[in-house]
Structure 1
Amino acid sequence: MRTPVKAAGIVPAMEWRDLERADEMVVVSAPSSWSDARVEAWLDWAGEIEPKAPLGGGPARYADRIAQIGLARGLFGDKTDAAAFREALLATMLSGVATPANGQSNLELLPDIAEIEFQSAVKTTLAQRRGRVLAAQAAARLDAALAQVADAVRRCSGDPRACGDVRKNPALARAARKARELGADDRVILDAIATADAFRPPLTDEAPARELALIASASRQAVAAGDEAAALAAQVGWETGALTLALSPTDAEALSRGVGVAAAIDASAFLDDDAFDIERFTYVCHLWGTALELERGERPARLGLAGVGDCLLSQGWAQTSVEGRDGAAALWALAVGAALSASAEAAAVLGQDEAFAQDKQGVLKTLAERRVRAAALRSDLATEAAASLATAHALARKHGLRSAALVGPFEDAEATLRLGGAPVGPAGAMSPVSVSQTADGWLLPAFSPAAFEALSTEGVDLDAARRHALGHGSLLDSPAIDHLMLQARGFTAHEIEKADNALREHHGLRAAFAPAVVGAGFLRDVLGASAEDVARRDFDTLAFADFSPTEIAAAERHALGAGTLGDCDALNPELREAFRSVEAPAFGDRLAMIAAVEAFACLPAPVTIPIAFDARPADAVRAQAAAARAGVRALRLMRADAPSDFKLDLPEEAAEPARAAPVSAPLVTERVVEKIVERDRSRRRLPDRRKGYIQKASVGGHKVYLHTGEYEDGELGELFIDMHKEGAAFRSLMNNFAIAVSLGLQHGVPLDEFVDAFVFTKFEPAGPVTGNDSIKSATSILDYIFRELGVSYLGRDDLANGDSGQFNADGLGWGKPRADDEADEAGPDPVLASKFISKGFSRGAAPDNLVFASFGRRRVEGADRPGVEGEMCPACGDLSLVRRGGMTVCDTCGAQSDRPGPLASS
């Protein structure tokens, strides 16, 4: 393999840098534009520091080691090729373009979350974790109780034997009882008494042994739907934070192997004045792909990118826009093509990976699909990305791949620091307002290079943007607290100047006016502060001078700026959105960007989904499902820790009323003995011929027949549930459930308890209810059944979601009013009783003309209705029986009778 003769990176001018380490002063050679923190990050990575060597000699040793490995394994033809490779690799590190990164430990791979083995494994893990937590808490309480036992012995004065006797030392007895209540064995309590004067080392507050990191595969559809298996996985993540969920078996297998070696390349370093340097970028990706293949041996390797978000920001693209997501995806596609090409060239000499040989067609198919997707990206780099992937596909088909999964996003804070603050990740970007170091070592706020490029390209008023983000640097002309106002409050020009000079150094207005800056003597002698106030660490000079918090905040914004550009009015809306997407990215937008990048990456980056500490497992299921629907390939739930001062707001126990003094009762010569006999609850059986009703309805398209049986007094005693066109198992389950409820009712369980227990249960079938005039929707079959029983037998109109105004307390109802008597306040006409009474149950004893009449209801004045002043006719049942002469005549049916009847008395 011959390294192309081209500059991998122009090494900047170097200078001697004196750095104070923890135990020594070192002199190293470093780029003059680098900050001390960046140089020290490289020295920490180098380990052994060579004085006056570039960056302590660590990059040179690393490049030389990789070149020697390649020469020994035959990847380089001769020493000249190895030397050229070494110089190119070293140049990328000294110019700050790339850096080695930390690997990742292996993860314990579990079965798919839908498998029985997964449920068994995670239940064991949860049980072990809970056991450790509870054991630690119980041990702490028990140790404190035993310490009180020993303390009761030590505080006792007198005979040592009596002090150690629970019968003679009341304090010891109380402490021993408390320790016994907490589970201490009496032998342990006796040992605590015997060793009361000995030294008792406190329990360590170290966390329990680190839990294994777990990973499992899952179906994206199952996780997005939040099914039972996904809910169990979410509970594991909610409780432990140790489960990584990969949404494909291939990703789960790849992530479980961990990462042995890694490297990161700063994509923003390839931005030129004109455009992005594609040729140099692909060359560096190829170079480091080769280096990782040589270094990894049998361990997995990963190559990641940094500063992708800075590339988007410099072009004014928001990460929330389609252009921004496609631009980031194109950069990753370029890196994947170049790195896999290097892997294929290494495989031609070193041999291909066994995993690639086992799934060669699948890997090649994936590469071809990525090439097609890359060509469709809306980015200037789409054509080059597709060509790079096509080259990798051709080489992989010819030689195979040394690593099938070489490129993927990851996060590494130390690598970010070595790259000058360019975040390593899918689309990381520096904060638009960062800190730069001056030649004399001062740290001053400034725009990041990408932010400055974006502002300059868009023609923004840089002075206005600088005043908004970085402030004026002084309180002069401040709208709230200026020099004149400070002088009016007693400050002299000397204190004001010192405070102005300290604004940048102390990073805050209150800190700039601290007693250590303006002088404690001035605060005591001029402003009148006491010595005790000035000595306090939290003393607020401006508040003592009667400045309000609003005035202080406004003055601080004027002097130090907002620190952001996303709310700057001097920018156009598109540029403001671009800065806002970097400064305060929404979680949903971040998921969309990760999904766009992972469509081309070989390996996913498990997305950490934050969960509030007081969230419930159901909230974790919803967050997990949302991430799966967004398109991420792997995720991990992380629940926040509870605040240190968090306490449950428990209600105070009511104080027991004071007991009255006992009153001496008179002597009773007789003795009264009360014997209470508790009998077993017996079953109240229903009559053999019972009444009830049958209700037919449809819940979510599933027919349900509800049969009820009642006692003589109308109380519900049994019910049957029949389903239409359901499976035999489900029908049998519902029938036996109805039998269980019936037995409970017959043994005295109130119907209210069943209603409260089963309403609002949620499972399929569910949805709209047809065929029932009071229940219009239900969340399950059980919810519908017990809503109906509650409305019909308990008068629980609050459970009805129909028109409850059509029902009265007796359940018979008024019915829908007719159009011609809607304003009739007396109610509708009587309703035939046959509508509510079973003719079969009464064996025909109830006549057909029996009605439910509205007795005692007020009628509308002036209404002319037959029988309004009459009695009930025995023939037709209408209230139209009147007396005419010596006979009674019914005005409705014409029946006559010569018997006086009840009207004779009148």
Structure 2
Amino acid sequence: MRIQSRHPGPDPRMEPRDLERSDCVIEVLAPGDWTDARVEAWLDWMDGPLELDQPLGGGPARYADRLTQVGLDEGLFGDAADAQAFREALLATILTGVATPAGDRVASQHVADISEIEFKRFAEGHLAKVRSTKLAARAAARLDAALTQVGDAVARCHGDAKACGDPLKNTALGRAARRARELGADDRMILDAIALAGASSTALIDPETPPPAPLVASASRQAVAAVDEAASFAAQVGWETSALVLAMSPEDAESLARGAALRAAIDVTAFQHDGAFDFEGFNQVVGLWATALELERGEGPAELGLAGVGDWLLAQGLSVATDTGRDAASALWALAVGAALSASAEAAALLGVDPIFAQERQTLLRSLAERRVRAAALRSPLAAEAAAALAVAHGLARKHGLRSARLISAFSDPEAALRLGGKPLGHAAAAASIATAQTDDGFQIPTFSAAAHACLTGAGADFDAARRHAMGHGTLTEAPAIDHMTLQARGFTAHEIELAEDALRHADGLRAAFAPAVIGAGFLGDVLGAPASALADPNFDTLAFAGFSPVEIDAAERHALGARRLADCEGLDRDIRALFAAIETPVLADRLAMIAAVETFTCLAAPAPLDLPFDARPADAARLQAAAARAGVRALRLNRLAPPIGFALALPEAEVEAAKPTRPLETAPESKPVVKERIVERVVERIVQRGGPARRKLPDRRKGYIQKAAVGGHKVYLHTGEYEDGEVGEIFIDMHKEGAAFRSLMNNFAIAISIGLQYGVPLDEYVEAYVFTKFEPAGPVTGNDSIRSATSILDYIFRELGVSYLNRDDLANADPGEFNADGLGRGEGVAESEAEPLPASKFISKGFSRGAAPDNLVFLPFGGRRTDEAPASGASGEVCPACGDLALSRKGGLVVCDSCGTQANGRSGSDGIIN
């Protein structure tokens, strides 16, 4: 095989570069226009000793030497001159930044099709392992922190060592030990933590969570698009683990599961010169690296990808969101397939044919022929060249076979992208419009990316307007809301303002330029009065502390540092803004259409990552998965994003139960209405046992009452059972002459309410939940002296319970003439009769008290309501000896009891009793 040494661009000029490593500072030879991060990425990639006299530490030279020797040993090169030409060409593409080796793709576990029962069984087991691992890691982390606190409590103790290690004598240790025991630590673990106190590390548990193992499953495109049951379950698995790849064909599933030990990537932007694409140089470099992979892979699979396709489109003014842009990207990938498979066919003539090609020869040859026809139909200047390259590959494959049946893949690799100067890999990936450049003194400054610069130049755009919008003015002078004068008025001196201005050159934001580490903690504490505890917070916001609002900070930051994007720059034409919008804020449908167009020509499927918000639901995942399947992607992977730092759910405050109010002895006069206080916070005390809250049993002999009433003509019997303190603990509901189903439903409803009350559910929660519920039977209420109408049976029951046990008088005294939605009417009072004494038998069950309440015991109306009426004429206000009521009145010469009619003669005695 003859190798041409042609490569794009001149040889780079190597310059010495000082790099600060983790343990030392070294000097290496590297291209002068490369950033330190790019050079360090190459140093991290290489293996073997660092050779400071060789470019990039000698790693690329050793890589080229090793592959050249393999080619000589395998007989791939005709002579030493061909081998040397191969080495020089391969090394030149690395040192010029055109190509790079990439990381391997780890093999995944291939499971059955998602429609098969084996997949669901395996996926359920996989989910169980993932969940248990996460829970175990979280519990281990909390337990580890608790045991560390045990050791800290001993280490911080000053005094007798034996006393410091005794939980009974060291109060802090006792609290920490109890906390650790509550979190699941046994006493042996606590004892070990005490013994290890003061050691270099008291961590007893490794809380590191291993990532879930990747899975690959095949699926029917129609089933995924229709979101059938199997697809919904697969979406749930992907939503929860972010580690399930769905391939729309069994062949792609098998290829993705095998992995790839070797991969490489080529930067396509290096071949665009003066508005023309160097397709000849591109074919040679693709063939060169395809040959390199064939030499290195042995019997394993290898993949070759492209980087910077989106940047290449942007530089030509082509949008990834249009058919023209998709056709151009497809033609470029088709050209890469033709060049790579031609090199693979030449290698097969010398090294042998891939077994997969031997098994699927006709299928693969037919696929090449079909791709050649589709490439010729593309609307792109590269279409004819791509069709010609595929035709050459088809002819060589028919003659020699293929060394690698599947070689071109649109994979992504962030580390390889960094070694290529930030050119991302993928179907049509593009770098950010605003990149960073490194100055000679090592500072990182914002600048337009090469593709954005070429796009703006080609469109004749206003560079100054674009620069001011994207990168700002670089200073706070004349900034809105926060300029130098405003800062001085808030207490900042010229010194602090100058420090912030200097920090703006390399700060990530305006808040970072005013951080305590920049401005000085002493100034913030002494002048602005910031407390030391606040300054210790790494997220301390100096500008907010100085009184600036978030809106003012954002406006000033945009003036000084720019928007860092061009899609909304008013100084650019609408078409140019649309180009940048497609890169900076891509639309999902456009991205999926691009992936489907490119994968029409690639040899291997690359799972399309579908990002989900962290708060998305499984149904959202299923819809996104279906959209990708309908768009025509060959494989997909759901990726649920992590929640933002500091995310916390907004939970209600703990409820506080106030003491139950007692009924007043006297009601307020009618002219002064009683203002009722609503309890908005309460503390509920519950006895909690292991396994959950304890059930509070009712006494075997319990008190309560029975209330008979009729709601809309339907009789209802409400029975209550009380604890010793008078709190209701159970209810029974009986209906008269109702159907068996309805009566059974009400009985079981009462059982459910009773169980809830006995497990600590407050009665007022049930009252708030069920009052004003509206269904039949409903209407006027008879037989209840407090409730006159109800909107349903449940409304009546819980009104009665609220009035009787919670003093909810606002639920009583409904107007029977007004049956509206709330059942309260207009609030007109009902005339009250004069208070009369009531016998004790009205309130106390003689059977419950076992005769302890005598029949002549009465309740005196001390708490009766005051009235404006004058007392009856002749009333003495003395107690009747017969009934005990204060109802004796003088009628002529007789004293008569108005309650029982007993007559008594004579004058009043000394004891106040009429004789």
CA contact (8 A) 1:9 1:97 kept: no
Moved more, 630-639 or 303-312: 630-639
Q: Distance in 2 between matches of 1:514 and 1:432?
A: 28
Once the two structures are TM-superposed, the CA of residue 318 in structure 1 deviates from its matched residue by 1.8
After superposition, where does 1:347-386 map in structure 2 within 5 Å? 347-386=348-387
Secondary structure of residue in 2 paired with 1:408: coil
CA contact (8 A) 1:27 1:52 kept: no
Residue 510 of structure 2 corresponds to residue 506 of structure 1:
no
Whichever residue aligns with residue 301 of structure 2, its letter is P
Once the two structures are TM-superposed, the CA of residue 69 in structure 1 deviates from its matched residue by 0.9
CA contact (8 A) 1:406 1:603 kept: yes
Q: Distance in 1 between matches of 2:304 and 2:237?
A: 30
Residue 33 of structure 2 corresponds to residue 28 of structure 1:
no
CA contact (8 A) 1:464 1:570 kept: yes
CA contact (8 A) 2:437 2:446 kept: yes
Once the two structures are TM-superposed, the CA of residue 521 in structure 1 deviates from its matched residue by 7.3
CA contact (8 A) 1:318 1:575 kept: no
After superposition, where does 1:364-763 map in structure 2 within 5 Å? 364-483=365-484, 485=486, 496-514=497-515, 517=518, 529=529, 542-543=543-544, 547-642=548-643, 645-647=647-649, 649=651, 652=654, 655=657
CA distance 1:613–1:469, change in 2 (3 Å): closer
After superposition, where does 1:110-189 map in structure 2 within 5 Å? 110-134=111-135
Q: Distance in 2 between matches of 1:674 and 1:482?
A: 80
Whichever residue aligns with residue 68 of structure 2, its letter is A
CA distance 1:282–1:656, change in 2 (3 Å): same
- For the aligned residue pairs, the C-alpha RMSD in angstroms reads 4.4
CA distance 1:750–1:621, change in 2 (3 Å): farther
Q: Distance in 2 between matches of 1:165 and 1:519?
A: 44
Residue 3 of structure 2 corresponds to residue 10 of structure 1:
no
Aligned to 1:90: 91
CA distance 1:752–1:75, change in 2 (3 Å): farther
Once the two structures are TM-superposed, the CA of residue 135 in structure 1 deviates from its matched residue by 5.1
Per-residue CA deviations over 1:753-774 (Å, capped at 9, x if unaligned) read 9xxxxxxxxxxxxxxxxxxxxx
| Corresponding pairs, count | 676
CA contact (8 A) 2:357 2:402 kept: yes
Aligned to 1:826: none
Per-residue CA deviations over 1:656-712 (Å, capped at 9, x if unaligned) read 96799xxxxxxxxxxx9989xxxxxxxxxxxxxxxxxxxxxxxxxxxxxxxxxxxxx
Q: Distance in 1 between matches of 2:194 and 2:473?
A: 67
Q: Distance in 2 between matches of 1:257 and 1:673?
A: 71
TM-score between both structures, scaled by the size of structure 1: 0.66
Q: Distance in 2 between matches of 1:117 and 1:149?
A: 47
Residue 275 of structure 2 corresponds to residue 274 of structure 1:
yes
Q: Distance in 1 between matches of 2:504 and 2:173?
A: 61
Per-residue CA deviations over 1:468-498 (Å, capped at 9, x if unaligned) read 1122222334344444555666666665544
Aligned to 2:304: 303
Once the two structures are TM-superposed, the CA of residue 225 in structure 1 deviates from its matched residue by 0.9
Secondary structure of residue in 2 paired with 1:215: strand
Whichever residue aligns with residue 577 of structure 2, its letter is R
CA distance 1:614–1:752, change in 2 (3 Å): farther
Per-residue CA deviations over 1:49-94 (Å, capped at 9, x if unaligned) read 2112111111111111111111111111111111111111111011
Once the two structures are TM-superposed, the CA of residue 543 in structure 1 deviates from its matched residue by 4.9
CA distance 1:746–1:179, change in 2 (3 Å): farther
Secondary structure of residue in 1 paired with 2:273: coil
Q: Distance in 2 between matches of 1:252 and 1:324?
A: 29
Whichever residue aligns with residue 244 of structure 1, its letter is V
CA distance 1:283–1:617, change in 2 (3 Å): same
Once the two structures are TM-superposed, the CA of residue 415 in structure 1 deviates from its matched residue by 0.9
CA distance 1:450–1:149, change in 2 (3 Å): closer
CA distance 1:578–1:40, change in 2 (3 Å): same
Once the two structures are TM-superposed, the CA of residue 175 in structure 1 deviates from its matched residue by 12
CA contact (8 A) 1:510 1:541 kept: yes
Whichever residue aligns with residue 39 of structure 1, its letter is V
Once the two structures are TM-superposed, the CA of residue 392 in structure 1 deviates from its matched residue by 1.2
Q: Distance in 2 between matches of 1:198 and 1:436?
A: 54
Per-residue CA deviations over 1:524-549 (Å, capped at 9, x if unaligned) read 88x66568599666665555665544
Q: Distance in 1 between matches of 2:177 and 2:516?
A: 54
Whichever residue aligns with residue 229 of structure 2, its letter is E
Per-residue CA deviations over 1:504-530 (Å, capped at 9, x if unaligned) read 1334334444566566777788x6656
CA contact (8 A) 2:138 2:207 kept: no
Q: Distance in 2 between matches of 1:164 and 1:438?
A: 61
Q: Distance in 2 between matches of 1:383 and 1:579?
A: 29
Q: Distance in 2 between matches of 1:421 and 1:412?
A: 11
Moved more, 604-613 or 360-369: 604-613
Secondary structure of residue in 1 paired with 2:371: helix
Q: Distance in 2 between matches of 1:381 and 1:350?
A: 31
Once the two structures are TM-superposed, the CA of residue 230 in structure 1 deviates from its matched residue by 1.3
Aligned to 1:340: 341
Q: Distance in 2 between matches of 1:552 and 1:56?
A: 45
Residue 253 of structure 2 corresponds to residue 243 of structure 1:
no
CA distance 1:520–1:749, change in 2 (3 Å): closer
CA contact (8 A) 2:144 2:205 kept: no
Once the two structures are TM-superposed, the CA of residue 240 in structure 1 deviates from its matched residue by 2.3
Q: Distance in 2 between matches of 1:363 and 1:55?
A: 40
Aligned to 1:101: 102
Structure 1: give runs of 5+ residues left out of the alignment: 661-671, 676-712, 718-744, 754-791, 796-808, 810-906
Once the two structures are TM-superposed, the CA of residue 219 in structure 1 deviates from its matched residue by 0.7
Secondary structure of residue in 2 paired with 1:10: coil
Secondary structure of residue in 1 paired with 2:265: strand
CA contact (8 A) 2:100 2:265 kept: yes
Aligned to 1:769: none
Whichever residue aligns with residue 82 of structure 2, its letter is D
Q: Distance in 2 between matches of 1:401 and 1:176?
A: 68
After superposition, where does 1:846-857 map in structure 2 within 5 Å? none
Residue 277 of structure 2 corresponds to residue 294 of structure 1:
no
CA distance 1:228–1:467, change in 2 (3 Å): same
After superposition, where does 1:297-336 map in structure 2 within 5 Å? 297-336=298-337
CA distance 1:714–1:397, change in 2 (3 Å): farther
CA contact (8 A) 2:305 2:410 kept: yes
CA distance 1:673–1:255, change in 2 (3 Å): closer
Per-residue CA deviations over 1:105-144 (Å, capped at 9, x if unaligned) read 1111111111222222222222333444455567778899
Once the two structures are TM-superposed, the CA of residue 246 in structure 1 deviates from its matched residue by 0.9
CA contact (8 A) 2:491 2:528 kept: no
Secondary structure of residue in 2 paired with 1:22: coil
Once the two structures are TM-superposed, the CA of residue 224 in structure 1 deviates from its matched residue by 0.9
Secondary structure of residue in 2 paired with 1:90: helix
Whichever residue aligns with residue 649 of structure 1, its letter is L
Secondary structure of residue in 1 paired with 2:277: coil
TM-score between both structures, scaled by the size of structure 2: 0.66
Moved more, 445-454 or 617-626: 617-626
Whichever residue aligns with residue 564 of structure 2, its letter is G
CA distance 1:438–1:134, change in 2 (3 Å): closer
Per-residue CA deviations over 1:865-906 (Å, capped at 9, x if unaligned) read xxxxxxxxxxxxxxxxxxxxxxxxxxxxxxxxxxxxxxxxxx
Percent identity over the alignment is: 58
Secondary structure of residue in 1 paired with 2:610: strand
Whichever residue aligns with residue 3 of structure 1, its letter is I
Secondary structure of residue in 2 paired with 1:17: strand
Structure 2: give runs of 5+ residues left out of the alignment: 663-698, 703-736, 750-774, 779-791, 793-915
Moved more, 212-221 or 533-542: 533-542
Once the two structures are TM-superposed, the CA of residue 237 in structure 1 deviates from its matched residue by 1.6
Per-residue CA deviations over 1:578-610 (Å, capped at 9, x if unaligned) read 111112223332222222211111112112222
Aligned to 1:866: none
CA contact (8 A) 1:149 1:192 kept: no
CA contact (8 A) 2:177 2:190 kept: no
